[in-house]
Structure 1
């Protein structure tokens, strides 16, 4: 008894000062409390905390939650609770107990508006029993900038949630900035009021202005245990209710739902809030040293066809290298036949490569294992995954799976066609950004919409708007506005969306872009209102960066510089001038103000650095990697499993330098081995070289086909702002022949040594279908069905090994019946690079065209389909009954 009494006094001392609730409601050991309490209040973790929440139990046993800011209600009492297939926990509840604690966490982000985070929240758990005896805990957390709650169902072997009653009730006349719901969050955000909003569903986050106190509604900590939610609204009502993406959500055991989250405060508090991340699970990664935010050169928006062109991609690499940008993104259309070469070209110039994927190419464990391992072996640094377009529990389970795999492979991630961030960038720090925004790729840019994003979508996490797209002709923004989006919008990877020529033609814009970081130590709102203006100050290290975008008539923006430290500062501003972009600089201190003329729908970027005598610009040198040469011999080789090849490499610094910490080595593929030492040099000066020689042995179980044996040189160079090694690589292209075919062999049964396809994968014994492997139909041409063959989509190529042992190829070729409109293609055959046959244009309705071609002596046979000269739409091409006759 004595020990119990001592603990009781400790609880009273610690808990009562933190809470505004009556003492009887605080003490879980009080039987009277559990019988009589019907209202419970929770205030933030400090006595002066402005935010509080009140939970009430009504006479029907239903719960409501209200939120107040500085004593004024901003969210009126609104229902909370949920239903499962076994229990209705929206009414008939009985209070059991209350427990309280303070949650304090410190963590560091790899991306975002603030690197180092400090979270402190008061947490209260209110336990209830439903009419069926099911226990439900309502867990509330209140911080200085918001309120969050979740449901915990602890005593179950499994359950199925069918509905949440969770709702919010801002005043009906509160101005609101809402996003009509679509699963990719790319609809146009609208300005309305809470009550006047149309009936229907709205996506998170949703922003309301309650007499100058802003409330941002969203959610945190959603993963595969649950589905994503959204808000649903009845016309004329101010109440918004949570609607789940799935009709049923299954849990195999105890369940803790996502946090229903309301960020509350003045606009500056809401904009700078990190509450969504604070509520999320801690990082699952212990080593984040390989994760690097940065600027990305991206070609798809300005040139849709460019991702199919390796020459053009190398031009983007050259542009990125000249300007010190960290990455290029090769979007939809790349081909595995040339990507490794572009990756090597880029890395030798200090630029890393990111690759685009449709999510269905990575939707199984087998696809993720094979594909991600392959691109990692090429040296790819990260992936952009697109078109998930779902908030279902199944899709969040897929997110869990691909995030675990990419983390294991040390591949960074950008999600497009995606859901919004719900704390994902804290839990998985290799997520650099997510789309979930109506970005520049919509080709209709409006200043009024742009100025909503900093106060809505971008508050909850990185936003891949793909900024600075001068190429968009349907825009009402100025050039300075476009440049400023790069700073005003936060994204760990900023995908600059225009072509090199458009940036080079605006040298002042490019000069500014080259100086802007993409992650921040601190962020402050300096002024603005959604749909009108947004002005932010961000700090990276000792430098400050101020940016603004406007959707109002021309004006003078002014702000005190009190956030600067002591001393004198050089303040350098890029803004709109009467004849284009202009740059201005002056010296100031923290007692001064920043005054910038802002054009109608304009913007500006200001860089602020420490002033020293004679300094005229804040520009820092951009990273430019020295040019080096790596020659590898032989360029090509052929070997059998278990056999060896001799490889040599010479690495040279033609001019400049010196470079240091140089290493030259061979990196054999998995299962292969290499004899010979790594060659090292502490320094290499201009004109000097190092060389190495190795004996490489193929794996005894080496798969047939082509494999690269890379020779790699790494080095560092003086004054590198990123302080990381440069990777230079060339490879010996080694061919491992498969067994020679014999007798009558169907081409669809042979190993494919190379394949490419205009849409989805090449299909064996089925038509092309859509994006997924195996989704085609039986091969059918003009009503004739074929059991064997290859289904492709122009343009396509398939290469198989004949080994010089076959005499003839026979096939029936044509457009598959699965297409509903006319396609046109041409079928071609190549033997060892020499054209053997060309059908000319074949159209839908022509029927199956017989093909018989002499392939005597051919080692490599390539079956190629072109688009017939009129584009690739509906070009589903069948090599039906394709077979070779061999010795």
Structure 2
């Protein structure tokens, strides 16, 4: 007969508790969002609930370095709680004045080698941000982070809204990946993509709410990452760059000095899409990396290349677009690829002086480098090395150039993140603002780099010119961007076409499938501090005056952004405020007329201007009265849109 003592039973339960223990917890200031940390069988895990509903089930934490493994055999050491509160201003993001308050938690674990890994959490209302910190490992003051096991385990009812990573070294002149894929929407959990999915990723947890995943704070000290599926259907994981990027050159991990910190992983959660659209978490947890060398200005730009293409890179055509910018009151003209060959540096000086006489600033296009891909357009090899870059930027400053659009980057490896930062930092020394094209997602860069002026990182307007399939899906993609890509960072789309046909002649081919009101609405829906609008010289005579007046007055800087209504890929209605003026814009991606009663407290009891379409898709402007409750009935035509403004 076996006798079991009370002491043995007690030891059994104590052992079980130590193997399966919740070690820390933290809630948002309003108490609705709660995060728990667990230490189980040598692993660190976390879960997240919102208003009592589990939104992320127990999910793995940890990373692996070339010196030591921080993904297993972990022991909980201690934790520390605190609070963070700050206010900041930034005119380049969706909200110019931000107050940020969060509860903080730092949890420390030791691994089998007795080395320490800390995980710092900041939990604000509707948001979680966290990052890892690795301490020195004996005499090791440097390490390479080879992989990360950070995961997100979703409830089974979740569906996904994700954009696949592009296959490295494919596409035009082997310039991929450049975050220019479409989206798979309302897709089953675990649906695989060959190369994973880009950040940000949106997830719909059935009736319980929405989750947006992204990362922020990526600079030259780390690689950028993305999402990937795992062998477990409900579990997604942080993945580092594919080795084939940059033509196979460079590490896919991150070389860090110790103590060293990773970028922030961010999670935004809400029971509606409002917190998703309005979140500022990508900017809340980062700080400026250097002081601006001057006060940078932003605004609207004309752009010949989008419809007139390469042949327009000549002195005469660019003069026409300088005149167009002047007549529209736009601050800039973008002179695109091949200007170095077709105009030349000497004549460019004269062109810039002509633009200056018209009160128009000049932005010039540059190829980022020649080593990572085969893009042939010039200027080439001026941005990829410090010596050449500084020589070129000194010349640019001397002749009065205001900024650069730098194109064709090689991927998400750390060496490419270093190139982004080097270009930005050097450009600041010479008073130049920078826009990135053919590029990765910006990750907090609006705050980190004062002269940063936006990125493409989206299936943008140029593909509307080149692809009938993309033209047919224009409304569908536009109804996604405010909820996914554009909510985490500035998006230089280069759209708002007033041409019925996307050609220089405005006839015969490339017919647009969206209405004029839709196009005007995207000028509000898509946010970027410098936006290249696709208004053409012919629009001065063939577009209605109310459309031209709207395109003259529309700002590119916003003081406030408010979600009104919508569903990703179906329709989207967003309000933005510039100073005292509100703009409300909506689009409809579905095949039927969308009839809605929308709540607009900013317009309650007021008469406002409405641009909308009739049943034939013709655009017009009129005045409408919003009732005292702020309610207004609107109809949005298929592939149509509307704009309201006071």
Superposition TM-score tier, normalisation by shorter sequence: 0.7 to 0.9
Q: 1:448 aligns with which of 469, 473, 476?
A: 476
Aligned partner of 2:184 in structure 1 is: 190
Equivalent runs, 1:151-162 vs 2, <5 Å: 151-156=132-137, 157-162=141-146
2:298 matched to 1:293?
yes
Structure 1 stretches lacking a partner, 5+ long: 1-33, 609-887
Pairing partner for 1:76 from 57, 65, 70: 57
Match of 2:571 in 1: 533
CA offsets 1:491-511 (integer angstroms, 9 cap, x no match): 111111242214541123222
| Counterpart contact for 2:157–2:206, Cα < 8 Å | no
Give the TM-score normalised by structure 1.
0.62
For each residue in 1:582-610, what CA deviation from the matched residue of structure 2 results, as whole angstroms up to 9, or x when unmatched?
Answer: 001135465342333211111011111xx
- Cross-structure match for 2:169: none
> Map of 1:289-688 to 2, 5 A cutoff?
289=295, 291-334=296-339, 335-360=344-369, 361-443=382-464, 444-445=470-471, 446=473, 447-469=475-497, 470=499, 471-472=501-502, 473=510, 475-502=512-539, 504-507=541-544, 508-552=546-590, 553-564=592-603, 569-577=606-614, 578=616, 580-588=618-626, 590-608=628-646
Mapped partners of 1:579, 1:457: distance in 2:
28
For residues 255 and 606 of structure 1, do their structure 2 counterparts lie closer, same or farther at Cα, with a shift above 3 Å needed? same
Alpha carbons of structure 1 residues 119 and 383: separation in structure 2 relative to 1, 3 Å: same
Contact 1:307 1:330 in 2 (8 A): no
- For each residue in 1:190-244, what CA deviation from the matched residue of structure 2 results, as whole angstroms up to 9, or x when unmatched? 1143425224300100000112411011101111111010111147712111111
Q: Which residue, 204, 229, 234 being the options, matches 1:233?
A: 229
Residue 255 (str. 1) matches residue 299 (str. 2): no
**Aligned residue runs from structure 1 range 142-153, under 5 A:** 142-153=123-134
Q: Give how far 1:326 is off.
A: 0.9
Find the aligned partners of 2:485 and 2:156 in 1 and give their Cα distance.
22
Shift of 1:41: 4.3
Q: What's the CA shift for 1:171?
A: 2.6
1:568-590 CA distance string (max 9 Å, x none): 63400111234621001135465
For 1:104 and 1:79, how far apart are their aligned partners in 2? 28
Q: Which of 125, 145, 149 is the aligned partner of 1:165?
A: 149
Q: Label 1:66 to 1:475 Cα distance change in 2 as closer, same or farther (>3 A).
A: farther
Does the CA contact (< 8 Å) of 1:42 and 1:142 recur in 2? no
1:35 Cα shift? 7.9
> Structure 2 vs 1, CA of residues 106 and 307 (structure 1 numbering), >3 Å: closer, same or farther?
farther
Partner of 1:782: none
Provide the residue aligned with 1:210 in structure 2. Answer: 205
Equivalent residue in structure 2 for 1:111, among 76, 92, 109 = 92
Aligned counterparts, 1:703-722, within 5 A = none
Task: Describe how 1:667-816 pairs up with structure 2 within 5 A.
Answer: none
- With the length of structure 2 as denominator, give the TM-score of the two structures: 0.85
CA apart distance, 1:332: 0.3
- Could you tell me whether the CA contact under 8 Å between 2:190 and 2:230 is conserved in 1? no
- Kindly name which structure, 1 or 2, has the bigger radius of gyration based on alpha carbons: 1
For 1:236 and 1:54, how far apart are their aligned partners in 2? 22
Is the deviation greater in 167-176 or in 459-468?
167-176
Question: Would the alpha carbon gap of residues 534 and 288 (structure 1) be closer, same or farther in structure 2, given more than 3 Å must change?
Answer: farther
Matched positions, count? 570
Does the aligned pair in 1 maintain the 2:293–2:431 contact within 8 Å? no
Q: Is the 8 A contact 2:28 2:126 kept in 1?
A: no
| Contact map agreement 1:205 1:216 (CA 8 A) in 2 | yes
- Closer/same/farther in 2, CA of residues 187 and 52 from structure 1, 3 Å limit: same
Residue pair 1:324, 1:514 contacting (<8 A) in 2 also: yes
Q: Structure 1: which 4+ aligned runs deviate by more than 6 Å?
A: 34-37
Point out which structure has higher relative CO (alpha carbons under 8 A, 6+ apart): 2
Say yes or no: does 1:278 pair with 2:284.
yes
On the 8 A contact 1:41/1:54 being kept in 2, the answer is yes
Rounded to whole Å, the distance in 2 between the matches of 1:286 and 1:314 is 31
1:39 equivalent among 22, 25, 36 = 22
**For residues 409 and 459 of structure 1, what CA distance do their matches in structure 2 show?**
30
Equivalent of residue 55 in structure 1, options 28, 33, 37: 37
Instruction: Quote how far apart the aligned CAs of 1:399 are.
Output: 1.4
Structure 2 Cα separation of the partners of residues 94 and 230 of structure 1:
28
Q: Are 2:164 and 1:180 aligned? A: yes
SS at match of 1:301: helix
Displacement of 1:147: 1.1
The separation in 2 between residues aligned to 1:124 and 1:463, in whole angstroms, is: 32
Secondary structure of the 1:362 match is coil
Alpha-carbon distance in 1 for matches of 2:230, 2:72: 22
CA change 1:307–1:256 in 2 (3 A) is: farther
